[in-house]
Each structure stands twice: as structure tokens, then as C-alpha cells.
Amino acid sequence: MSFPSERSPQDASGKPAGQTAKRGAAYVALGSNLGDRERSLFEALQLLNEHPAADVLRVSPVYETDPVGYTQQPAFLNMVAAVRTSLTPRELLRLLLDIERKLGRVRDVRWGPRTIDLDLLLYDDRRFEDDELTLPHPRMMERAFVLVPLRDVLHREHPLYNQVAELTADALRDGKEGIALWNTINWHNAFARFEN
């Protein structure tokens, strides 16, 4: 099942309509807690959107959250992007890992500090599991730092929307992970902000 976009292809990215073949709706979580956290999120979005087979359609607000798992580290900035893509889920995952590398991600402590973290949460309504990728993301329903921004951009027709919305309401009511609104990014007018 592929969900309709809420913008035309030309409006969404400036790329020519019909540039790529059949497209899927993917949702990508972004997080950063080292260096200029907001800039890292934006640069990751730019690199993702610059790929010829991916368009960033919508982005959530940016939330600041307490670290989970390994807690002796700075607070994170987290957000989620809705992406239209003709890449397969595996190809999209590899693109996300490549963007992490370009932005200096080092994997030395599990759940440790990072310049950027990109996770593929959902791809249409596909369910899939192998050694490289599990869809939906196996821990997303347990994490307020994923659920809250995901709810902001998840298409209402997605089969998981109601569950995500309910868990988000619970997380916000309970103050899970100290999640707090940090900033909003007007995605389609954001490029000038970080040009220098």
C-alpha cells in the first residue's frame, strides 16, 4: 500500500515530476547529540533530498529528548521525515548509512553519542525482517523520541497511525524521555538558514 502524497512532486522537492519510477512512502527518524545538533539534522535532510530517487516531503518539529540506554551523554535533538522514494527499503537503508558516514558518524558505543543517527522506521505498510533490516523498526513503539515526531508526519491512512497516536499521547502525558519541543523547520524555505 502506497500512501498519497500531500504535495505534488514539483511542489515537494523542485525535482521534475515523474523523474523516478514507482514511489513508496518511507519514514526516517533523525537524531543528533554531538556538535551543532540542529545543523547535523538539516544537513542529513539535505543529503537525503539531493538523492535523485528520494524527496523529503514533510518534516516534524525538532524535539529535545533525554538519552535512552546509555544515559551519560548529552541530550538529543530528534525529528522524523516523510520521504517519497523509488529506492527499495534496502537501498534506502544503505543511503541512510552512507549519509551517516558522510556526516562523521562513528559507531563505538551502543546507544552512545553521535553526530547523526538515521533510522528507517516504515516503508509503506511493509513488514520485513532479515539480518540487515526489520520493518517496521523493531523498537519504535517503545520510544517517545520516535513516536512523537512520527505522529506529526505519519499519513493518517497508514495502518499504524492510530496506535502511534495513542502511544504518543501516553508518552507526552507521562513525560517519557523528557521530550520537549525544540524548534520547527519550514522545510521548503529552510535552505538559506545554513548556507554559510
Q: At CB < 8 A and 24+ separation, what contacts does 171-176 make?
A: 171/144, 171/147, 172/144, 172/148, 176/144
Catalytic residues: 105, 114, 117, 119
Quick one: average pLDDT of 182-189?
A: 74
According to DSSP, the β-strands at 54-59 and 76-85 are antiparallel
The pLDDT, as a whole number, for residue 73 is 75
Q: Which grid cell sits at 80?
A: 522524523
In angstroms, rounded to a whole number, what is the distance separating the alpha carbons of residues 66 and 161?
A: 24
86/68: higher pLDDT: 86
Quick one: average pLDDT of 44-53?
A: 95
pLDDT digits (tens, 9 = 90+) for 51-65: 999 999 999 999 998
Quick one: average pLDDT of 25-42?
A: 94
pLDDT of 171 over the 50 cut: yes
Alpha-carbon distances of 59 from 12, 21, 128, rounded to whole Å: 12, 23, 25
% of the chain at pLDDT higher than 90: 54
In angstroms, rounded to a whole number, what is the distance separating the alpha carbons of residues 79 and 63?
A: 6
pLDDT digits (tens, 9 = 90+) for 113-153: 778 999 999 999 999 888 889 999 988 998 889 999 999 99
Quick one: average pLDDT of 65-89?
A: 87
CB 40 within 8 A of CB 117: no
